[in-house]
Structures are given as structure tokens and as C-alpha cells.
Amino acid sequence: MIRQFKSSDLEAILRIEKKAFPKSPYNWFTFLYYARIYPDNFLVFVHEDKDKGKSLIVGYIIFYPEGHIVSIAVHPAYRRRGIGTELVEAVLNRTSGKVSVEVRTSNEVAKKFYRHLGFSLRTIIPEYYGDEDAVVMISNSS
Ligand SMILES: CC(C)(COP(=O)(O)OP(=O)(O)OC[C@H]1O[C@@H](n2cnc3c(N)ncnc32)[C@H](O)[C@@H]1OP(=O)(O)O)[C@@H](O)C(=O)NCCC(=O)NCCS
């Protein structure tokens, strides 16, 4: 299930963030900033663990209202189950469908992920990350 972020999700989101982006994780302030400024645009994926009878936050996506993805991450133990796809589709459905995102040139998994979703390369921004270029990818309806 996908729903809006609540402040009680923060610890789980920080755990996912550290695993997904160990070199440069967003901190709690950044997440609460986005939740405050764009409450409708910070979505979490809740996995219902029926065996344990509890709900777990296993992914998130933050996007700007015009359809630019700020960040997306799925907990490593829950990857390749279509959760990232559902999160991006939620953004496509909540915007004009014209979605863009910057990806580190070395992030082959993310580039494959977005290509799988029909995104294509728009341009390269040199040194976007300071130490690395970004590829800008856009959805096929852009
Ligand atoms: C990128 C990320 C969000 C994808 O989440 P996910 O839930 O695993 O994605 P999905 O299960 O929806 O994958 C959809 C498709 O993307 C491609 N894909 C996803 N992960 C892949 C991998 N490790 N290797 C190759 N292709 C991959 C596949 O085509 C996959 O379809 P398939 O499983 O049927 O082959 C996740 O890997 C992640 O959190 N990475 C770390 C953070 C990150 O890099 N974020 C993006 C920065 S812009």
C-alpha cells in the first residue's frame, strides 16, 4: 500500500536511506523539510507482513509537484518485487505524467530501473554531484 509519509515513519525511512545511499544519505532534517513543504509528494510503501501481523515501511519516493523525482529508495530486502515501479507509477498518476530524474552516471541499477519504466536519457549534467556527472532521464510522455 502506498500512502503519504507520517512523522512516525521517519526512523524506518532513515534506516532505508542509509542502506540505499551509504555515502550521502539524507538526514532527518531533510526528510522532515520535504514532508513539511510537500506533504502530498512524500509517499511511502507499506508492506503488510501477514505472518508477523505487522506493517513495515519498505520504500519511499519524494517528488516535486511538477513531476521531478527528488529521491527514491527501497529496502534491499524488498527489492525486485515491483515496489520501486509502484512508487514511480504513483508519481506518474499524481502528476501530468511528465516525470524527470537525475541519476549518478555510475548507478547502473537505477538507469536500468528507469529504462524499464520507459524513461530515456535527456541530457548529462557535468559534475552535478560534485564528484560525478548526472544523467537526466525523462518519462516517455515528456
Ligand atoms: C532503484 C530501486 C529504487 C529499484 O527498486 P525495486 O523495488 O527493486 O524496483 P522494481 O522491483 O520495481 O524493478 C523494476 C525493474 O527495474 C530493473 N531493475 C531493478 N533493479 C535491478 C537490478 N538490481 N539489476 C538490474 N535491473 C534492475 C528490472 O528491469 C526490474 O524488473 P524485473 O525485476 O522484472 O527484472 C532500488 O534498487 C533502490 O532503492 N536502489 C538504491 C537507491 C537508488 O539508487 N535510487 C535511485 C536513485 S535516482
Instruction: Look at 97 and 78; give whichever has higher pLDDT.
Output: 78
- Return the DSSP state at 39: G
pLDDT in tens, 87-116: 999 999 999 889 999 999 999 999 999 999
pLDDT in tens, 6-40: 999 999 999 999 999 998 999 999 999 999 999 99
pLDDT for residue 141 is more than 80: no
State whether 102 and 88 are in the same domain: no
Report the separation in Å between the CA atom of 111 and the middle of ligand 1, taken as the mean of its atom positions. 9
State whether 16 and 68 are in the same domain: yes
State whether 78 and 46 are in the same domain: yes
Is this structure's pTM higher than 0.75? yes
**Cβ of 81 below 6 Å from ligand 1:** yes
Task: Give the whole-number percent of the chain exceeding pLDDT 90.
Answer: 93
- Per the listing, cell 534491499 goes with 76
Ligand 1 pocket test: pick from 61, 62, 109, 119 the residue with the most ligand atoms within 8 Å of its Cβ.
109
**Cβ of 104 below 6 Å from ligand 1:** no
State whether 24 and 90 are in the same domain: yes
State whether 3 and 73 are in the same domain: yes
What range defines the domain where residue 39 resides?
1-96
* Average pLDDT for 74-78: 98
**Cβ of 67 below 6 Å from ligand 1:** no
Give the span between the Cα atoms of 89 and 122, in whole angstroms. 20
